[in-house]
Amino acid sequence: MNLISTFIDTAGRLGDRVAIVEGSGRRITFSALAERSAEVAGTWSRLGIGKGDRVLIAMPVGIDLYTTIAALWRLGATIVFPEPALGLSGLKHAVGMTKPKAVVTAGWYRLLPYLVPALWSIPGRLTIPTKAEARNVLETVGHDHPALISFTSGSTGMPKGISRSHGFLAAQNACVAQMLATSNEEERDLVAFPVFVIANMALGITSVLPNWKSKQPEKATSEGISSLVAREKITRALIPPVICDTLARGGIDPGLSAIFTGGGPVFPDLMQTMRQAMPDTAVMAVYGSTEAEPIAHQQVEDITADDWQRMETGGGLLAGHPIEQTRVRIIDDEIVVTGDHVNKGYLEGRGDGENKLRIDGEIWHRTGDAGRLDEKGRLWLRGRLSAKAGNVYPFEVEVAARTWPGVRRVALVPNTDPPVVAVEGDEPSPGLWRMKGAEIGVADVRNVPVIPLDRRHRSKIDYAVLRDMLR
């Protein structure tokens, strides 16, 4: 059974339970979402959208987005998601690679054809109908039928297209379901990652969408988030590290039972701050990538004193045990993974040669991250292979250096030998950071105004920009 069939069954069972709540307060029940998606699917079916058609979505994150997803999957269409962090260039790239039959726009996104001439080549223009007659459209699709195409962030070159089949999404959903398993039938999740909203639609868990701008998570406030938690009676949060940091340092404990965080490294100093600020909240750090989500996870309360010591003295970042559906190997220091929910190839094969390995007849994905497995079978992250400096990897330095007095953010400068470390913060006394650096094998420490971060979650170092800053 694919996710859309599971969602329809779930909607029939849960009826008037709330499925999705927008940050503004607008909400929709499971039954209403199922009925609305049937109406939209019926309308678009009459407009000629059907099984196998590629349809690009350009619209704000909200109820209408998930209605559109459900409607297109009812039709057996393949959804195309441009990488939002890349803006108009990402949209143009997605159109060129996928050549969609139609585009769905809403809100200000309806102006995009005037801003991106590439959209003129798309034959169909779809909008969500204000009123339509529901039709019980539900195409039968196979395990390998493509459900959606998304793109990598492009941080290591031209964005690569990733086609996910219905079988792939079902396997990914099984991994997510296991991770999010709960005995509380009234769970309400604050969800900043669309993949988890889709999973919750099938699982029957209410998803509350953020009340901050997805492209500017660093501008969220602890007061605003806590107010949303209280208003919507949110019990758990699935949020990036930058939002965790805002909550932990805001002086307000929102009273969540659990937080799941990922999309960027969850450093020990943030883990410790969260434990102190929200002592009754279980925190799980999740490691994964666009091609393989999730790979491993770690409950913060299970980290031992010896683990903390290792991280603070150059051991890297503990990611925890790989999930049972993922097999992990370390080849030439690199983490490589395989499993039913791990992408086996890119659109048109672009990037396969560099990022895929065939081992004993199976395709494995190269994560581009350095790592090691410890004596307990747990995965430790050492940082990006491409960001190595001298004989050290980023996390072997950055994790430890974040514990130095006055440090706000730190980054190993790639390809420097001897290694150079850039530090954002206020040094309490001259020479202190250089002395601390010498203890972990780094002699050159440079104070910078700001460490550049990625555009997607504002949680990862943008090493390319950092290199340019220090030239």
Apex CA 311: angle with CA 308 and CA 317, to 5°? 115
Q: Among candidates 265, 252, 257, 246, which has minimal Cα distance to 318?
A: 265
Q: Which string of DSSP letters, residue by residue, matches 290-316?
A: TTEEEEEEEEGGG--HHHHHHHHTT--
Of 143, 165, 187, the last residue of a domain is 165
Write out the residue range of the structural domain in which residue 312 sits.
Answer: 170-387
- CATH number at 136 reads 3.40.50.980
- List, for residues 93-122, the tens digit of each pLDDT value: 999 999 999 999 998 888 888 888 888 889
Whether 156 has a pLDDT exceeding 60, the answer reads: no
Contact 335, 370 (CB under 8 A): yes
Q: Are 323 and 297 in contact (CB under 8 A)?
A: yes
User: Beta partners for 104?
Assistant: 57, 126
Which pLDDT tens digit goes with each residue over 24-46? 999 999 999 999 999 999 999 99
> CA–CA separation, 55 vs 104, rounded Å?
7
Q: How far apart are CA 160 and CA 208, in angstroms?
A: 30
Q: What integer pLDDT is reported at residue 377 of this predicted model? A: 97
Q: What is the CATH number of the domain that holds 175?
A: 3.40.50.12780
Do 218 and 341 share a domain, yes or no? Answer: yes
pTM for the full predicted model: 0.93
Among candidate residues 335, 358, 387, the one where a domain is terminated: 387
Type of residue found at 375 = E
Of 352, 387, 422, the residue at which a domain comes to its end is 387
* Residue 442's pLDDT band (cuts 50, 70, 90): confident
One domain, residues 351 and 293: yes
List CB contacts of 209: < 8 A, sequence separation 6 or more: 20, 21, 22, 23, 61, 62, 191, 197
* Residues 6+ away with beta carbon under 8 Å from 349: none
Domain-embedded: residue 303: yes
Going by pLDDT thresholds of 50, 70 and 90, the confidence category of residue 183 is confident
Residues 340 and 216 in one domain: yes
pLDDT for residue 457: 59
Quote the number of domains for the chain: 3
* Rounded CA separation 469/407 (Å): 19
Q: What is the mean pLDDT of residues 298-312?
A: 96
Q: What average pLDDT does the structure give for the chain? A: 93
CB contact burial 350-381 (16+ within 10 A = b; e otherwise): bbeeebbeeeeeeebbbbbbbbeeeeeebbbb
